[in-house]
Amino acid sequence: MTAMILVHPPVAKACEPPAGITKLAGFLEANGVNCTLIDANLEGMFHILRSPVEAHDTWTKRAARNCVRNLKALHEWSIYKNLDRYSRAVMDLNRIIATHGLKTGAQLSLSDYRHKNLSPLKSDDLLWSAEHPEADPYHSFFSGRLPGIAEADTDGVVGFSLNYLSQALTTFSMIGYMRRELPGLRLVLGGGLVTSWCRRQGLRNKLAGLVDDVVSGPGEYTLLRILGKNLTVSGETAPQFSGLRTGEYLSPGLILPYAASSGCYWGRCSFCPEQAEGAGYHPVAPELAVTHLRRLEAASKPALFHLADNAVSPAFMESIIRERSARGASAAGEKSGVTPWYGFARITPHLSDPDFCAALAASGCVMLKLGVESADQDVLDSMRKGHDIETARLVLAALKGAGISTYVYLIFGTPQERETSARATLGFVTQESGHIDFLNLALFNLPIGSAEADLLETRPFFGGDLSLYTDFVHPLGWDRRRVRQFVEREFSRHPAVQKILRKQPPFFTSNHAPLFAVKERCT
Ligand code: SF4
């Protein structure tokens, strides 16, 4: 049987299986390709946590001493009832990871990888990492792990899925290592970040000789072609998780990611990379998507579904409600046997309907992430968000009324924002603080290639040829320095905002937030 290996490199949050390689595996297996999945992120993290720690201070010594106990605690529900205990466990585990990183000049954490001299936004630095894999903080892990996969029963094709900047340096180190030590393998590089780089920064030319194939966009058909297989099943397939160490992810039960679409059904927000890349919207039919969920539920007994769509469509929500109410789900949600779920949703009128939200809660929805972005209607309109701020108020109230937690995303410093707009957003949050459980605050980044970039005076930003964003002269004088000062010194210090920010799970943020919501509903 045709076979290949799919690798999810470090660093990403190791709390659930990776969405990218499991989705690919579902499609490839349906088309007769046997996939070996390697979550090198999870395995690499455990390799570091189980290695001897050079502890020179009290905190690191305590972290090393309590490592096994902290790992065990994060696999149990009880710790998600107590944010202080949870935070201590997570910070201690992170201390071990960070201490390990320092040996190679890396600033490693449970969710990120930065380096004091190397930038994932510079192709020269990525290529340097490929040439010097021994300098990577994960080298002791992958130099022991990768030779074994070359001996596996595959056709010698290895695909790397690169989705986040935090994965880039180690991805290139691993590729460089394989190129040098395991010649003869066909190396394929794809994933969301690679797609963005290809579409906007011409990455492909810069990688000549390092990898055999660069995949831009969904990799399903390209991989079949590379493997010389004919398409036998063309429809949407469910993700495939077998072979992963599903019991080891840092969560109290299995969290399964599932995306019922790629792209975004709205696709109009001016600041959105999806929009800048013109990726298009490709949904799975809602009835088929709920069938996938039901099958995954039966096969894997997950504790939680993470609906990984850029925005869960109203049609998909309605299908989940229909399917689960047909199964007799009650307002008790998870107690009735349906698996809880969470995801991103747009602010839309149907979410302001208390009855709809009650049905959503009964279907297992424990948390929605919502891009409120700003409380200034002119700013929202110029961003083409497609919602009005009064609807946002109603949505937050209706969701909270139904027992669904809200995770609100805000952006400061958009080209249309003034200081008064940012203050209006602060006013909104303080007024609605009783309906907001979690907050994500971001400074606006202008995507290169966006329509807005053509209208503004721009200048290079992060000093890297692979940067996806550009700096710009703010047309209203509300520049990045002033915006940052406002967010850090005024917005974040408001007592109502602080109270919300203090609830944020460190490092795992929105990935673990719903676990606290599930816990609340269970008690
Ligand atoms: S709703 Fe989200 S994903 Fe969709 S276009 Fe707007 S920002 Fe992008």
pLDDT at 232 over 90: no
In ligand 1, the atom with minimum distance to the C-alpha of 274 is: 8
How sure is the predictor about 334, in pLDDT bands with cuts at 50, 70 and 90? Answer: very low
Centroid of ligand 1 to alpha carbon of 384 (angstroms): 10
- Residue ranges per domain, the chain? 2-51+115-226, 58-102, 253-518
Q: What is the pLDDT of residues 401-449, one digit of tens each?
A: 999 999 999 999 999 999 999 999 999 999 999 999 999 999 999 988 8
pLDDT at 255 over 60: yes
Length of the chain: 523
Q: Do domains 2-51+115-226 and 253-518 have the same CATH topology?
A: no
- Which residue, among 355, 499, 476, 382, has the nearest Cα to 429 in the 3D structure? 499
H or E element that contains 440: strand 438-443
CB 361 within 8 Å of CB 368: no
Residue 289 CA to residue 305 CA, distance in Å, equals 12
- Which residue, among 245, 36, 46, 280, has the nearest Cα to 158 in the 3D structure? 36
Name the residue of 196, 265, 268, 269 to mutate for ligand 1: max ligand atoms within 8 A of Cβ: 269
How sure is the predictor about 284, in pLDDT bands with cuts at 50, 70 and 90? Answer: very high
CB 13 within 8 Å of CB 507: yes
| Superfamily (CATH H level) for 2-51+115-226 | Cobalamin-binding domain (3.40.50.280)
Would you state the pLDDT for residue 190?
96
Would you state the pLDDT for residue 164?
97
Would you state the pLDDT for residue 382?
94
Q: What is the pLDDT of residues 25-82, one digit of tens each?
A: 999 999 999 999 999 999 999 999 999 998 999 999 999 999 999 999 999 999 999 9
Q: What is the pLDDT of residues 264-283, one digit of tens each?
A: 999 999 888 776 666 789 99
CATH of domain 253-518: 3.80.30.20
Would you state the pLDDT for residue 453?
86
Residue 443 CA to residue 461 CA, distance in Å, equals 13
Residue 468 in 3-state DSSP? coil
Centroid of ligand 1 to alpha carbon of 225 (angstroms): 31
Centroid of ligand 1 to alpha carbon of 196 (angstroms): 16
The mean predicted confidence, pLDDT, of the chain is 93
Residue with CA nearest ligand 1 atom 6: 269
Would you state the pLDDT for residue 332?
45
Lowest mean pLDDT among 147-151, 183-187, 261-265, 298-302: 147-151
How sure is the predictor about 154, in pLDDT bands with cuts at 50, 70 and 90? Answer: low
CB 96 within 8 Å of CB 48: yes
In ligand 1, the atom with minimum distance to the C-alpha of 271 is: 7
Residue with CA nearest ligand 1 atom 8: 272
Centroid of ligand 1 to alpha carbon of 276 (angstroms): 11
Residue with CA nearest ligand 1 atom 5: 267
- What's the whole-number mean pLDDT along residues 492-505? 98
Name the residue of 310, 373, 409, 452 to mutate for ligand 1: max ligand atoms within 8 A of Cβ: 310
In ligand 1, the atom with minimum distance to the C-alpha of 346 is: 1
Backbone angles phi, psi at 407, to 5 degrees: -120, 105
Centroid of ligand 1 to alpha carbon of 275 (angstroms): 8
Centroid of ligand 1 to alpha carbon of 311 (angstroms): 7
Q: Which residues line ligand 1 (CB under 6 A)?
A: 264, 266-269, 272, 274-275, 310-311, 346, 371
In ligand 1, the atom with minimum distance to the C-alpha of 265 is: 4
How sure is the predictor about 383, in pLDDT bands with cuts at 50, 70 and 90? Answer: very high
Residue 6 CA to residue 26 CA, distance in Å, equals 12
Centroid of ligand 1 to alpha carbon of 492 (angstroms): 25
Residue with CA nearest ligand 1 atom 7: 272
H or E element that contains 96: helix 83-102
Centroid of ligand 1 to alpha carbon of 353 (angstroms): 22
